[in-house]
Structure 1
Amino acid sequence: MAENEQLSNESKINQAEKEVINAIAETMDLYGITPSIGRLYATMYFKQNPMTLDEMKDELGMTKPSMSTAVRNLQEINIVRKVWQKGSRKDHFVAEKNFFNYFNRFFGGKWKREADINLFAIKQAEDQLLEVIENEKDDEHLLERARQDLEQLEEYKQYCYWLQQLVDSIESGEIFDFLPINNSGR
């Protein structure tokens, strides 16, 4: 009976892990990752030791070149990293297990890029629009259009500054003062 109970408990653990693996795989599109690559990350998440490409291939039934591409994609978004294993010439990889760290690096980096690129473009546009306002003497329609564009850009600029503050608060950890990490699950 103990053997059957052990098998049943192992089956329950496998089923629990499978539930989460499927959910993670399904939602990885948020990060630009396909479900199959998401399944690899989620599988690695439950592994307590780093995995080689061969181990990944065996676990997921994919080809080694597919595993290599998948790992590279996961490395690019900083959710998997290569680790050194003493006595082994093979590459070993480990999944990021702290989702708050991952959230910070992934979304913080994307939002910072969005704010920086758009603030630069807004500055360029403002300079051109101000030049139109200073130099246009005859066409009231163009003047009004330039003024309206400047007003809209001012609102857009506020969003970009807010986004920069959000990124700063994530990077500094200050965001957790406003949105504390609690373990109560709501």
Structure 2
Amino acid sequence: MSLDQLNEEQQSKIMNIRKRVIQTVGKNMELYGLTSSAGHLYGLLFFANQPMTLDDMGREMEMSKTSMSTSVRNLLDLQMVNKVWSKGSRKDQYEVEYDWHQTFMDYFTIKWRQAAESNLLTFRKAIEELNRLLKEHDEDEKLYEILSRDKKKMEEAVAYYKWLNRLIDTMESEEIFQLVPKEELDK
């Protein structure tokens, strides 16, 4: 059943509920590094009963095709929407990824892994440099103390990023659900 099969009052009530949900989702998309308009687009796709083209979304959202395309590309990159094939259509169509657990894990594992690996590399190189300086300046107590203190802080950071990588591993392997099970829907 679609909304156009309902009377005007029923349609209005449903649309008001949907608008509130879409507004809230849009506001919270900044957690994913997205604009609120990308969040509103996600909300539109969430409530759509079938995949939509950029033209369909543009008409509904009253956004430019460029803005729409950028938002869709960002949602695709974060694996929050999927491009789907539709028989007889030459235009790309999109639908929401409804597995929110997977969406969360995909986003955070991609972003966290990139940050963790980049930071680990930087800290490890810095520790190597500090080790060289410590050997070269082991006679200078003040400098040695500062270098040692910095090295300890950086080693603590490396330990954190190694832990973060293990956390990411539990998400990618879905072991996380053994520790924090998914909620079951009430029937």
Fraction of identical pairs, as percent: 39
1:27 is aligned to: 28
Equivalences for residues 39-50 of structure 1 within 5 A: 39-50=40-51
Q: What CA RMSD, in Å, does the superposition of the two structures yield over aligned residues?
A: 1.8
2:145 is aligned to: 144
> TM-score with structure 1 length normalisation?
0.90
2:155 is aligned to: 154
1:81-121 alpha-carbon deviations (Å, 9 max, x no partner): 22111101111111211111111110011111121111111
Moved more, 128-137 or 166-175: 128-137
One-letter amino acid of the structure 2 residue matched with residue 159 of structure 1: Y
Asked if 1 retains the 8 angstrom alpha-carbon contact of 2:127 and 2:151, the reply is yes
Q: For the residues of structure 1 that align with 2:143 and 2:185, how far apart are their CA atoms? A: 57
Deviation, 1:11, is 2.8
Name stretches of at least 5 consecutive residues in structure 1 with no aligned partner.
none
Deviation, 1:7, is 4.0
* Secondary structure class of the residue paired with 1:182: coil
Name stretches of at least 5 consecutive residues in structure 2 with no aligned partner.
1-5
After TM superposition, where is structure 1 displaced by more than 4 Å over at least 4 residues in a row?
none
Asked if 1 retains the 8 angstrom alpha-carbon contact of 2:124 and 2:158, the reply is no
1:87 is aligned to: 88
Q: For the residues of structure 1 that align with 2:7 and 2:14, how far apart are their CA atoms? A: 11
Q: For the residues of structure 2 that align with 1:65 and 1:155, how far apart are their CA atoms? A: 45
Deviation, 1:144, is 0.7
2:165 is aligned to: 164
Q: For the residues of structure 2 that align with 1:53 and 1:81, how far apart are their CA atoms? A: 13
> TM-score with structure 2 length normalisation?
0.89
One-letter amino acid of the structure 1 residue matched with residue 52 of structure 2: M
Q: For the residues of structure 2 that align with 1:146 and 1:116, how far apart are their CA atoms? A: 23
1:113 is aligned to: 114
The count of aligned residue pairs is 181
1:71 is aligned to: 72
